[in-house]
Amino acid sequence: MIPTDTHDTGTCQRISELLSRIGDKWTLLIVRALGQGPKRFSALKRELGSISQKMLTRTLRNLERDGFVDRKVTPVTPPQVEYALTPLGMDLFRPIAALAEWTFAHADAIDAARHAYDARHPDPDHRAA
């Protein structure tokens, strides 16, 4: 449980903010890709397949701004830009990995809870939104 004594409402919102960022559509996938080592923009795009350039740029910018990813430009033509995890980025994704393990272990329980709920509440409007 999140201890109420050390974590006030402000800290809670801070954590939510970080979770929202990490929980967006692409961040985890990008970080997982960069976990294998530094990669170039186009290599990431190829690897992620369905991501648009805009979203890849935006997600990388956010990661860079928060200090999780380092961006290194080599001024040649055509330009080369390499992205790599910073030490802070690698450090963050240890607790994230713990959460990943948990999700992996309990995915079935969540699915079961959802099916049970949906069976109890046949009205699909409850599930929407």
> Which token pair is 64?
């860079």
Selection from DNA, a copy of itself, none that 41 binds (CB < 5 to 8 A by kind) is DNA
58 vs 72, beta carbon nearer a copy of itself:
58
Selection from DNA, a copy of itself, none that 55 binds (CB < 5 to 8 A by kind) is DNA
Binding to DNA (CB under 7 A): which residues in 31-70?
40-42, 50-55, 57, 60-61
Can you state the angle between helices 27-34 and 87-120, rounded to 10 degrees? 140
> Which token pair is 118?
């949906």
Selection from a copy of itself, DNA, none that 32 binds (CB < 5 to 8 A by kind) is a copy of itself
Nearest Cα to 95, choosing from 19, 37, 12, 8?
19
Site string for DNA, 86-125 (x = CB under 7 A): ---------------------------------------x
> Are 2 and 12 a contacting pair, CB within 8 Å?
yes
Between the CA of residue 107 and those of 20, 21, 24, 102, 110, what are the distances in Å?
20, 22, 19, 8, 5
Asked if 20 interacts with DNA (CB under 7 A), we say yes
Selection from a copy of itself, DNA, none that 78 binds (CB < 5 to 8 A by kind) is DNA
Q: How far is the CB of 119 from a copy of itself (least distance, A)?
A: 11
Sign of the C-alpha dihedral, residues 89, 94, 99, 101? positive
Q: How far is the CB of 5 from DNA (least distance, A)?
A: 25
